[in-house]
Amino acid sequence: MTEAEIREKVDLYSRFPHRGKLKIWTNTTEFMDIQAGDVISLEEHHFLVRGEEVEGRFGLDGEPKFWVKKVIDLSDGSSKILKLVFYESFLMQIGPVNIRCFRSPRKEARILGKTRDDPYFMKGFDVQDPAGNTVRILERIQGARYYDFIQNFSMDHETYFHEHFPGIFKRLIDCFEAMLRLHQMEEVHGDIRNDHILIDRKNNLFTWIDFDYTYEWAENPFGVDLFGLGNILLFTVGMGFHNLPDLKACAPPGMQPTSCMEPEDLSLFFKHRIINLQKLFPYIPDSLNHVLMHFSCGTDVFYESTEELLRDLKACEVQVPS
Amino acid sequence: MENKVLIAIDLSENSLKAVDYVGDMMVHHPSVTITLLNVVREPSPDVMPDEVEREAYVRKMREETRRHMEEASRRLVSRGIHEKNIHIKIQVCSKVVSIAELVLKEQKEGQYQTVVVGRRGVSKREEFLFGSISKKIVGEAKDCAVWVVE
């Protein structure tokens, strides 16, 4: 596409006609300098930059992610996300444990390829720019974040648990099965969180996004992912997280603090987080509570694979009201 | 009968304790042969994309490991183990591999009667996230004794 053709497309798909000189980037190394209104050209693909995505992680909410650009695909006017190359290594904290974590564009690109036909993973492909940067071109998923979906239930827990949870639980198992498929391909997600599942409006599936984090150890390669899955399960069963201070102050509607919490009822990683939800909500079946307790201070047996976790979850289905 | 002992050591002080312990225990067994095994893992390109940097890292680790293994060997000799009965083995792996699995593979192939590992004393949380080499070896070893030295 010539510059004149690109300009024509920009005028066609942008709400505001472009004035002045159009800045076209082919090398994306200096991503901080690429701004809204610029065009990124990668091989035969051309994208108008609309701005940056913002961080959704707690504590960093709203911070711009300068390496993640919101763009318009000038071939058809669709919205896309461009993830440019940004290498960083940092310590991620899981409770009191620090984990050396790396951002790897190469790993995310590889997973995009491996999960191309799996509807439970975000879709996209990668292109190398002339400087060798692995740029990921991602479809934008329209739909709510799983975190918001669960948080937005505004009823008492018992009603939620009997009326909504059974259906959500089935869908969550399907979503966890997708994670098993990823693990079977010897890949980890690396950053499993409530807000890294989007509920795709097109098919209603719980869809995994953002898998560019990685680590370097091999004895228990899926440990961090399993921790994340446990957290999501806890959040789903409890209709949110419940912490000791909640009990001490005023319990949310539906909460029945029938007995005192013991240290072994709390999270292995977060000292105030309640894992033994059955003590709050006695109608939670034993089998399901038993799965949760594998993530508590009281456990001596950990899940070592998603397969083990899923086997137990599927066994719970018969006890979950439907 | 030859008595073959495999000591899996990393670069920690704790693994030298395991070496000392084996030296003290085996000094009266003239037929013992002791193999010191260490695994150097080349970082994955996912975490270290630059090939030159990866190669430099492996060279550095190999050198550091060799020095550490020689120190371990000297400790055994100082405890009365004959130098000719001590073997040093450094494995360099380009893939992310489980150390426990490599140790068990070496045990099987070399038909060692005893495998020795040091225990780093990981917390329950660390074990959840990262796993434990010694626990894995204890749980999966066959046809040998396993000593875990703390």
**Closest Cβ–Cβ partner in A94, A106, A215 for B49:** A106
In this predicted structure, what is the pLDDT of residue A249?
Answer: 59
| A256, pLDDT greater than 70 | no
A279, A289 contact by CB (below 8 A): no
Condensed to tens digits (0 to 9), the pLDDT of residues A11-41 reads 889 877 667 788 999 999 999 999 999 999 9
Q: Choose among B128, B57, B46: nearest CA to A102.
A: B46
> Domain of B99?
3-149
Number of domains in chain B: 1
On whether any CB of chain B is under 8 Å from the CB of A214, the answer is: yes
Distances (CA, A) of A52 to A25, A31, A36, A68, A298: 16, 11, 8, 6, 43
**Closest Cβ–Cβ partner in B46, B98, B125 for A97:** B125
Helix, strand, coil % (nearest 5) of chain A?
35, 25, 45
Cα dihedral across residues A297, A301, A304, A306: positive or negative: negative
Rounded CA separation A250/A279 (Å): 16
Q: Which residues from A are below 8 Å from B43, CB to CB? A: 216
On whether any CB of chain B is under 8 Å from the CB of A224, the answer is: yes
Rounded CA separation B33/B35 (Å): 7
Condensed to tens digits (0 to 9), the pLDDT of residues A79-90 reads 999 999 999 998
* Chain B residue closest in CA terms to A102: B47
Ramachandran region, residue A321 (left: φ > 0; alpha: ψ -120 to 50; beta: rest): beta
Confidence of residue A3 (pLDDT cuts 50, 70, 90): confident
Distance from CA of A287 to the nearest CA of B (A): 21
In this predicted structure, what is the pLDDT of residue A178?
Answer: 98
Condensed to tens digits (0 to 9), the pLDDT of residues A268-293 reads 999 899 999 999 999 999 999 999 99
Choose, out of A219, A266, A269, the residue to mutate when testing the contact with B (most B CBs < 10 Å). Answer: A219
A136, A124 contact by CB (below 8 A): yes
B41, B96 contact by CB (below 8 A): yes
Rounded CA separation A160/A151 (Å): 11
**Window 227-246 of A, Cβ < 8 Å to B:** 227
In this predicted structure, what is the pLDDT of residue B123?
Answer: 87
In this predicted structure, what is the pLDDT of residue B108?
Answer: 96
**Closest Cβ–Cβ partner in A216, A221, A268 for B43:** A216
Q: Which amino acid, one-letter code, is at A25? A: W
Query: What's phi and psi for A146, nearest 5 deg?
Result: -55, -40
**Closest Cβ–Cβ partner in B49, B130, B136 for A223:** B130
A19, A77 contact by CB (below 8 A): no
Spatial neighbors of A260 by CB under 8 A, at least 6 apart, are: none
In this predicted structure, what is the pLDDT of residue B2?
Answer: 74
In this predicted structure, what is the pLDDT of residue A157?
Answer: 96
Q: What is the mean pLDDT of residues A104-124?
A: 97
A146, A232 contact by CB (below 8 A): yes
3-state secondary structure A295-321: CECCCCCCCCCHHHHHHHHHHHHHHCC
| A2, pLDDT greater than 90 | no
Helix (H) or strand (E) holding A5: helix A3-13
Q: Which residues from A are below 8 Å from B49, CB to CB? A: 87, 104, 106
Tokens 């003590």, residue located: A279
B7, B107 contact by CB (below 8 A): no
Rounded CA separation A148/A109 (Å): 27
- State whether A219 and B132 contact (CB < 8 Å): yes
Q: Choose among B147, B149, B120: nearest CA to B133.
A: B120
- State whether A216 and B44 contact (CB < 8 Å): yes
Q: Which residues from A are below 8 Å from B136, CB to CB? A: 219
**Closest Cβ–Cβ partner in A95, A102, A106 for B125:** A95
The full set of domain ranges for chain A reads 3-85+124-138, 143-319
pTM (predicted TM-score): 0.90
Q: Which residues from A are below 8 Å from B128, CB to CB? A: 220, 223, 226-227, 268, 302
Spatial neighbors of A165 by CB under 8 A, at least 6 apart, are: A236, A237, A239, A320, A321
In this predicted structure, what is the pLDDT of residue A209?
Answer: 97
Strand partners, A102: A89, A214
**Closest Cβ–Cβ partner in B47, B124, B125 for A104:** B47
**Closest Cβ–Cβ partner in B47, B126, B132 for A102:** B47
Condensed to tens digits (0 to 9), the pLDDT of residues A136-174 reads 999 999 999 999 999 999 999 999 999 999 999 999 999
Rounded CA separation B50/A272 (Å): 42
- State whether B46 and A107 contact (CB < 8 Å): yes
Q: Which of the listed CATH numbers 1.10.8.60, 1.10.510.10, 3.40.720.10, 3.30.300.280 matches domain A143-319?
A: 1.10.510.10
A137, A127 contact by CB (below 8 A): yes
Distance from CA of B27 to the nearest CA of A (A): 33
Rounded CA separation B51/A37 (Å): 36
On whether any CB of chain A is under 8 Å from the CB of B46, the answer is: yes
Q: Which residues from A are below 8 Å from B124, CB to CB? A: 268, 297
Condensed to tens digits (0 to 9), the pLDDT of residues A181-228 reads 999 999 999 999 999 999 999 999 999 999 999 988 778 899 999 999
On whether any CB of chain A is under 8 Å from the CB of B139, the answer is: no
- The number of beta carbons lying within 10 Å of the beta carbon of residue B47 is 20
Instruction: State CA B20 to chain mean position distance.
Output: 14
Rounded CA separation A228/A196 (Å): 10
Distance from CA of B65 to the nearest CA of A (A): 18
Q: What is the mean pLDDT of residues A102-130?
A: 97
| A248, pLDDT greater than 70 | no
On whether any CB of chain A is under 8 Å from the CB of B131, the answer is: yes
Rounded CA separation A179/A177 (Å): 5
Q: Average per-residue pLDDT in chain A?
A: 92
Q: Give the rounded percent of residues in chain A with a pLDDT score beyond 70.
A: 93
Condensed to tens digits (0 to 9), the pLDDT of residues B81-114 reads 999 999 999 999 887 788 999 999 999 999 999 9
Strand partners, B40: B92
Q: Which residues from B are below 8 Å from A304, CB to CB? A: 131
| A96, pLDDT greater than 70 | yes
On whether any CB of chain A is under 8 Å from the CB of B124, the answer is: yes
Give chain B's largest Cα–Cα span: 50
In chain A, the DSSP E strands lie at 24-25, 39-42, 45-54, 64-73, 79-83, 89-94, 97-103, 124-128, 134-139, 143-145, 197-200, 206-208, 213-214
- State whether A220 and B46 contact (CB < 8 Å): no
- Residue B145: CATH number of its domain: 3.40.50.620
Distance from CA of B124 to the nearest CA of A (A): 8
